[in-house]
């Protein structure tokens, strides 16, 4: 099967994206072939495309995809032709505790991704998508959606009345605000832009703190809530100090990213005196994704989508991501 694929060529850069014609093999035993109808962009995808995360050769971009099963291999009983499915970000992690380190098998990074028309993968690399979602909506879920889901529900799940601090307006943060409010939590969010602060309120945030006006936004979150049960920290070491200021004694911090860099100097006194649990969260397993899909089918929640581009305008989509103007997911539509 002949189809298009968009590669980044070493050393990376948006001027080094190249569309090629490739062959997609038919499915062997235990595999399915998928016609990809939509993708979404993640921060990680941008880093690979620009060369900030180096690849060992030309790499097909994009880690997230949703599409339709068009062929199944021998022995496949879980999926049938016509099923609507979406990718998994960590296809080697099916269930249980993680036993790996890094992105060596992750699509669009250590392995070829989904910026293409069709792909053949093992059945373990996909799950069904929510029945009530479009392909574009489902394509927003495998990385950002699942990261938020796992942080909120897979460990010690939040419950009605829990207090949750969700800094920023990353796509993970927007999913988390929606999910936390859907189960009755009190949500405190942060931003520095008036329009984004207003939109966070529209999504359901109970309080929104301007972190430029309040550099001590952790203390402000503590004041507003009396102590946060769960903080979703996407900034990394540069924001961990504020997360520690906000969290209640015995509370939890889920470290979801290093958007502001991997290292910094922080005072760990609060970690010890408050006896806080910090958990590193890297997306989730296939089982986590199946649980998320089941949960989303019972919630009136739609992903926030900023804009849509065709596959041949992938570089333009990355430019929109680079601009910082996007609010929500940037999707690639591939009819």
Residue 179 and residue 149 in contact, taking contact as beta carbons nearer than 8 Å: yes
Which architecture characterizes domain 145-280 according to CATH?
Answer: 3-Layer(aba) Sandwich (3.40)
Q: Which is it for strands 2-8 and 17-23: parallel, antiparallel or unpaired?
A: antiparallel
pLDDT, residue 260, reads 60
pLDDT, residue 157, reads 94
Give the start-end residues of each E strand in the chain.
2-8, 17-23, 31-40, 59-60, 64-72, 84-87, 118-122, 126-128, 163-166, 186-191, 207-210, 228-233, 247-255, 277-280, 305-310, 329-333
pLDDT, residue 265, reads 66
| 257: three-class secondary structure by DSSP | coil
pLDDT, residue 262, reads 61
Closest CA to 280 of 241, 222, 236, 322: 236
Of the chain, the percentage scoring pLDDT greater than 70 comes to: 97
pLDDT, residue 276, reads 94
- In sequence order, the β-bridge partners of residue 119 are 34
pLDDT along the chain (335 residues), means of 10: 94 97 97 98 96 95 98 97 97 89 87 98 97 97 97 94 96 96 97 95 97 96 96 86 94 83 68 89 96 94 97 98 95 92
Quick: pLDDT tens for 28-68.
Answer: 999 999 999 999 999 999 999 999 999 999 999 999 999 99
Q: Which two tokens stand for residue 297?
A: 């089918």
pLDDT, residue 261, reads 57
Q: Which is it for strands 31-40 and 64-72: parallel, antiparallel or unpaired?
A: antiparallel
Question: Mean pLDDT over all residues of the chain?
Answer: 94
Pick among 3.40.190.10, 3.40.50.1820, 3.90.180.10, 3.30.10.20: CATH of 2-140+303-333? 3.90.180.10
pLDDT, residue 264, reads 62
Domain residue ranges in the chain: 2-140+303-333, 145-280
pLDDT, residue 194, reads 94
| 128: three-class secondary structure by DSSP | strand
pLDDT, residue 105, reads 86
């Amino acid at each position: 099967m002949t189809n298009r694929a968009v590669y980044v060529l070493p050393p990376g850069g948006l001027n080094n994206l190249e569309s090629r014609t490739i062959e997609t093999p038919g499915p062997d035993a235990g595999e399915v072939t998928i016609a990809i109808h939509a993708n979404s962009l993640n921060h990680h995808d941008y880093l690979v495309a620009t060369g900030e995360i180096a690849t060992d050769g030309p790499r097909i971009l994009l880690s997230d995809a949703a599409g339709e099963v068009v062929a199944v291999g021998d022995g496949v009983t879980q999926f049938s032709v016509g099923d609507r499915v979406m990718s998994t970000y960590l296809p080697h992690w099916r269930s249980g505790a993680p036993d790996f380190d890094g992105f060596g098998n992750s699509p669009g990074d250590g392995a070829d991704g989904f910026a293409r028309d069709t792909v053949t993968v093992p059945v373990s690399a996909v799950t069904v998508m929510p029945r009530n979602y479009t392909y574009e909506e489902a394509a927003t879920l495998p990385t950002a959606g699942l990261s938020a889901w796992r942080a909120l529900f897979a460990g010690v799940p939040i419950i009605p009345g829990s207090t949750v601090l969700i800094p920023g307006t990353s796509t993970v943060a927007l999913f988390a605000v929606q999910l936390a409010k859907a189960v009755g939590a009190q949500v405190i969010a942060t931003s520095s832009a008036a329009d984004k602060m207003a939109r966070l309120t529209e999504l359901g945030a109970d309080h929104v703190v301007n972190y430029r006006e309040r550099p001590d936004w952790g203390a402000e979150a503590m004041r507003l809530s009396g102590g946060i049960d769960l903080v979703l920290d996407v900034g990394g070491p540069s924001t961990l100090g504020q997360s520690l200021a906000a969290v209640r004694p015995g509370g939890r911090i889920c470290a979801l990213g290093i958007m502001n860099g991997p290292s910094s100097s922080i005072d760990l006194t609060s970690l010890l005196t408050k006896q806080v649990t910090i958990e590193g969260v890297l997306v989730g397993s296939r089982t986590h994704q199946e649980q998320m899909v089941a949960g989303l089918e019972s919630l009136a929640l739609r992903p926030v989508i900023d804009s849509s581009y065709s596959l041949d305008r992938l570089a333009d989509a990355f430019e929109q991501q680079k601009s910082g103007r996007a609010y929500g997911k940037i999707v690639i539509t591939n009819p």
